[in-house]
Amino acid sequence: MKPAVLAAIDAAAPLPYYLPAGDECELFEHAFRHQLPLLLKGPTGCGKTRFVAHMAARLGRPLHTVSCHDDLTAADLTGRYLIKGGDTVWVDGPLTRAVREGAICYLDEVIEARKDVTVVLHPLTDDRRVLPLDRTGELLEAPPGFMLVVSYNPGYQNVLKALKPSTRQRFLAVEFDFPEPELETRVVAAESGLPEARVAALVRLAGALRALKGQDLEEGVSTRLLIYCATLLRSGIKPDRAIRTALIEPLTDDPDVRDALLRVAQVTLG
């Protein structure tokens, strides 16, 4: 337990900044209250992780975030026996810790994880809300404060890496996208400190670059990259250089595509 003083300081800390695009905060609260798991779909860098951090703080729950990758196994989430000073001790993984504490567990890019991971999630996502730990013989019941949130980027989806219907039909799903221009301008200005008037031009450029998605580009410029660009501008980097470094080069390695994007930038920004 935290000393009361520290807990009070935590409670007074400002929430991680998140500007809602719609009713996603209410939806999250209702899902939490009714102990329903939540799936967030959307492109990279559009605010999913920030949203979960904001909601966890707002609901006063600790947050355990796991970035999933193709080596991630069920044991990485649940825990394993480790040798410590000659003894074998059980060490909880982040999912187990979240269940024990009644915390929010956020699995980012869940689609990347190995297949056996979904097997662990299933009993937590139906009305049993349990986590069986085969290795220790425990059957943990998730307390009301526990919530499972997963995210994935449908844009990267391929046949091999689709979320199986038997898994996805266990979650409420909320779609995310890059914020509307006016909203995105406020977000980028708030995060970078660049005045909104200057940010607005960048957001317009982002719109033009995003329109090319699917033709030459796999992914459009993210809100995250816009914030990087605005941060460079605010720090005194010349616009041409900031735009190229933050908004063009990260998107492509193809010189022809890059030149086309640079032309779009010139035309859009004049």
Ligand X SMILES: Nc1ncnc2c1ncn2[C@@H]1O[C@H](COP(=O)(O)OP(=O)(O)O)[C@@H](O)[C@H]1O
Q: Which residues bind ligand X (CB under 6 A)?
A: 17-19, 42, 44-50, 179, 187, 191, 223-224, 227
Return the C-alpha torsion angle 129, 134, 138, 140, nearest 10: -20
Kindly tell me which of 20 and 123 has the beta carbon lying closer to ligand X.
Answer: 20
Kindly tell me which of 28 and 140 has the beta carbon lying closer to ligand X.
Answer: 28
Q: Which does 17 bind (CB under 5 to 8 A by kind): Mg ion, ligand X, none?
A: ligand X
Q: Which does 243 bind (CB under 5 to 8 A by kind): ligand X, Mg ion, none?
A: none
Which window, 22-30, 41-49, 115-123, 217-225, contacts Mg ion (CB under 5 A)?
41-49
Q: Does 223 bind Mg ion (CB under 5 A)?
A: no
Q: Which does 187 bind (CB under 5 to 8 A by kind): Mg ion, ligand X, none?
A: ligand X
Residue 150 in 3-state DSSP? strand
Beta bridge partners of 151: 40
Q: How far is the CB of 193 from ligand X (least distance, A)?
A: 12
DSSP character for 128? T
Site for Mg ion in 58-117 (CB under 5 A): 108
Residue whose C-beta lies closest to ligand X:
47
Element (H, E) at 66: strand 63-67
Binding Mg ion (rule: CB under 5 A), the pick from 28, 49, 140, 252 is: 49
CA–CA dist 224, 179 (Å, integer): 12
Distinct helix (H) and strand (E) counts, the chain: 12, 9
- Angle, alpha carbons 120-126-131 (nearest 5°): 35
Single-letter amino acid, residue 76: D
> Which residues lie near Mg ion (CB under 5 A)?
49, 108
